[in-house]
Amino acid sequence: MIPAKFTCDGENVSPPLTISEVPAQTQSLVLIVDDPDAPGRTFVHWTVWNIDPATREIPEGTSPEGAVEGLTDFGTTGYGGPCPPSGTHRYFFKLYAVDTRLAVPASAVKSELEAVISSHATAQAELIGLYSRQR
């Protein structure tokens, strides 16, 4: 379960993340956070790319230094926490190891980012968090 602190019901800051077992040939990391249970479509909460492959922790409320944050479905860059209209939703934190640094503008949306990394991802990890708003 995702603590309320990391959602629209709390401080809406990104949770701390730990990264391990990054493949040796990795040139950068990509993080995509989305909610496939959102009404109508998968809702994008955070995209970050060109994360230094030596990164082992992304502290709470921060973005990795030197990384690029793309547009979310909130219409802004940066982290936007869970805020489901009803029920319990799943939030997928997907981390990709890629074999290059990405020449993708910060105005890119998730589908554009996924198109670029599809031929460069060498490994992937996934963490699923759950959140249900308390009303």
CATH number, position 128: 3.90.280.10
Number of domains in the chain: 1
Task: State the greatest distance between any 2 C-alpha atoms of the chain, in Å, as a whole number.
Answer: 47
The closest of 128, 133, 134, 135 to 15, measured between CA atoms, is 128
Q: What is the pTM for the complete model shown? A: 0.96
Summarised one tens digit per residue, pLDDT across range 89-116 is 999 999 999 999 999 999 999 999 999 9
- pLDDT tens digits for 32-76? 999 999 999 999 999 999 999 999 999 999 999 999 999 999 999
The pLDDT value recorded for residue 135 is 61
The domain in which residue 108 lies consists of 4-132
Structure tokens at 84: 């489901």
